[in-house]
Structure 1
Amino acid sequence: MYNLRTHYPALQDYTYLNTAAHGLISTVVVDYKASLNHELLHHPAYFAERRTPFMNEVRNSLSSYLDSHYHLTALVSNFSLAFNALLEGIPATKKFLLVKGDYPSVNWPVEARKFQCCYADLNASLEENIWQACEQHQPDFLALSIVQYISGIRISLKFLKDLKVQFPDLIIIADGTQYIGVEEFRFRESGIDILAASCYKWLDAGDGNAFITFKEDVVERIKPKFTGFNSVQDFKNDRGSFMGHFEPGHQDMMAFGGLQKAVEFCDEYGMQHIEKQIKILTDAAMDAFTQRNLLKPEVTARDRHSSIFNISGDEVLMERLSDQNIIVSQRGDGLRVSFSYYNSMDDLHRLLDVIDSH
């Protein structure tokens, strides 16, 4: 079992409650990326020849972690590029259902392309709002974040499965950036048709790596346009040209090596331990914040919440927290606090001590 305090040196100096903004990077990932740079420095020919099998190894590790199809999983530099590439392959006549106030990188690219859009309100009845919007507007696509980046409201994954049963022609596109890495997830068993995520947050993989993965039955409904030399290399036989359009050019081996090592770190530490620790902290934080009236009614009224909270607080409280080396973010009209598996109950108590003395 890893000693997390050893592998995340920042935890020695800070109470880091800001994974929703950027996950910490472990010494395991840093050391591995350094070894790859050393290899490039001293053995460039071998390094260049190894690129394709190396990226295939990363893809294999990631698809196993996600329970996604290897041949339908693309390695991309960030969520936004993957999502924009996806949208370029969707006819402009299609209708999208979006969530009001969702992450700008989800809503803005859809709206900018002038797709016909309808919206579901973001409140305690999010699932009901989406269901009613589907019945009323009959959208072709639903695009949303699994976890909302400001409030931390999390869509029910069971609901998405039920929604898919009721509306089988609806294509569900999910941004998993604030979710993947929090708990065990099986893409092929989910109601999600297309999943994309940047991996620098809850997977703690560092910057420059992300993925997009597809269910087999939606591929024919997408006509991607992005292309490049890499779009036709090594895809002709085992993965097809479709996925090549999402990997049109050069990929950073250091960035994706970090992703592979981060996935291995999660596997070795154990997703069951990660999920358990996050749930313990989430439940305790929900109780503590609710008792202090720090959360909005749309959050406290829901049965289950994510590990992201937006608590009542102003710049004065933000400064007091910063003075105590407690790292959070100002988001919306409050302070966003997020708990990862490398956090502890002591971290929550330090936060509450400052809040209670405010």
Structure 2
Amino acid sequence: MEKFRKEFPVLKKGIYANTAVYGLLYDSLLDWRQEHDLDFIIYGSDMRDKALKVIADTRSTVGRFFNCKRENVALVSNFSTGLNVLLEGLNSNKKILLVENDYPSLNWCFEKREFDIEYLKMTIDIEDQIHKVLSEKKIDVLALSLVQWLDGFTIDLEFLKGLKKLHPDLIIIADGTQFCGSTTFDFDNSGIDALGASAYKWLLAGYGNGCMLFSDEIKEKFSLHNIGFNAANGELDKRDEIRFAKQFEPGHLSSLIFGSMKFSIEFFEKIGIDKITEQNRKLSEKAMVEFQKLGLLSDVVSGRKQHSTIFNIKANEATYQKLIDNDVFCAQRGDGVRLSFHFYNTEAEIDAIVKILKTGK
């Protein structure tokens, strides 16, 4: 991974443990973006066909990377926008199961509408609790983040896959913003019906781009009202033939912004998503062991077999300031400090953070 670390100038300034806030941009992406805009300056409207191809290729690239049918991929500016469009097409008489303190943009989208909502507390055995609720009550929709934004708590993907087999009529909606790009993921075999993700975090694509992925079955359960000329590919006679995913794209899309997502996914493929997955597994296991030794993790996180690379350590304002003063990029979240690692981080950097926490140096 060392040769790829050279792509990220911010890594020269300190230890970047803040991907959960913003994924790093990098030199080769900047080069592509500059060349893209230079072409527009030189060629003007003659770039239109090339720009449209970038958008089409981005949709195919997203589908390939996450194993989702191309026609079931929607390109959206962010997860929040995509989820709001989706829920406008869901009958308000549905019973929803949410997790307390999940990402606000996820829970708020349901709470703003007239759904009947049931909540679960985040516990070590959250999967068992979900099973229990589904066996006792009629739940139509389960919506949750695959990785929790506050502390990196990770839902067992095999559990979701099995859950769908047990409850085939259950609609499973997932927020993948703190997940997509951190590890391998097979959407079509996940049991998830709709997954949305903003791409500016773990996919390293910058602001303004993201995707929604859909199963074939979900299309019959939502009645969408979003529409626009772009959704019909600019064809006047195609207004009533717009496919489900394209209804999330009513207006023109930026080839610069979505082309950046395409470029980053191809960058990940160049590195090897298996290598990224393995590196992040090592970072997660290393951080878990070291932070547990210091007694800095909650019982809920410490009791899990699998965890992401996001950790919320018990830390006050003084500890946060100590990390900042020692050039550690991190964020205050809840009652602690959130540290988040990606493939461009090293185990040595985790050791350095531990030393700072112990000694302040």
For the aligned pair, the TM-score class normalised by the smaller chain equals over 0.9
Structure 2: distance between partners of 1:136 and 1:119: 14
Q: CA deviation at 1:311?
A: 0.3
Match of 1:45, as an amino acid? Answer: S
Match of 2:65, as an amino acid? Answer: Y
Structure 1: distance between partners of 2:317 and 2:74: 41
Where do 5+ consecutive residues of structure 2 fail to align? none
Name the residue aligned to 1:228. Answer: 228
Q: Is the 8 A contact 2:231 2:242 kept in 1?
A: no
Structure 1: distance between partners of 2:265 and 2:96: 32
Name the residue aligned to 1:176. Answer: 176
1:204-243 aligned within 5 A = 204-233=204-233, 236=238, 240-243=242-245
2:271 corresponds to 1:269: yes
Name the residue aligned to 1:133. Answer: 133
Match of 1:314, as an amino acid? Answer: N
User: What secondary structure sits across from 1:43 in the alignment?
Assistant: helix
Structure 2: distance between partners of 1:271 and 1:231: 31
Name the residue aligned to 2:291. Answer: 289
Structure 2: distance between partners of 1:232 and 1:223: 17
Match of 2:305, as an amino acid? Answer: D
Please report the TM-score for the alignment, with normalisation by the length of structure 2. 0.96
Name the residue aligned to 1:350. Answer: 352
Q: Is the 8 A contact 1:118 1:137 kept in 2?
A: no
Q: CA deviation at 1:232?
A: 1.8
- Aligned-residue RMSD, C-alpha: 1.5
Structure 2: distance between partners of 1:162 and 1:305: 19
Structure 1: distance between partners of 2:148 and 2:344: 21
Deviations 1:7-42 (A, max 9, x none): 001101120000011110111111111111111111
Shift in CA distance, 2/50, structure 1 to aligned 2, threshold 3 Å: farther
Q: CA deviation at 1:45?
A: 1.7
Deviations 1:261-318 (A, max 9, x none): 1000000000111011111111011000111100010111111111111001011111
Name the residue aligned to 1:309. Answer: 311
Q: CA deviation at 1:2?
A: 7.2
Shift in CA distance, 319/183, structure 1 to aligned 2, threshold 3 Å: same
1:1-358 aligned within 5 A = 3-233=3-233, 236=238, 240-358=242-360
Q: CA deviation at 1:345?
A: 1.4
Where do 5+ consecutive residues of structure 1 fail to align? none
Structure 2: distance between partners of 1:201 and 1:146: 14
Q: Is the 8 A contact 1:30 1:258 kept in 2?
A: no
Q: Is the 8 A contact 2:174 2:192 kept in 1?
A: yes
Please report the TM-score for the alignment, with normalisation by the length of structure 1. 0.97
Structure 2: distance between partners of 1:285 and 1:346: 11
Match of 1:248, as an amino acid? Answer: P
Q: Is the 8 A contact 2:52 2:255 kept in 1?
A: no
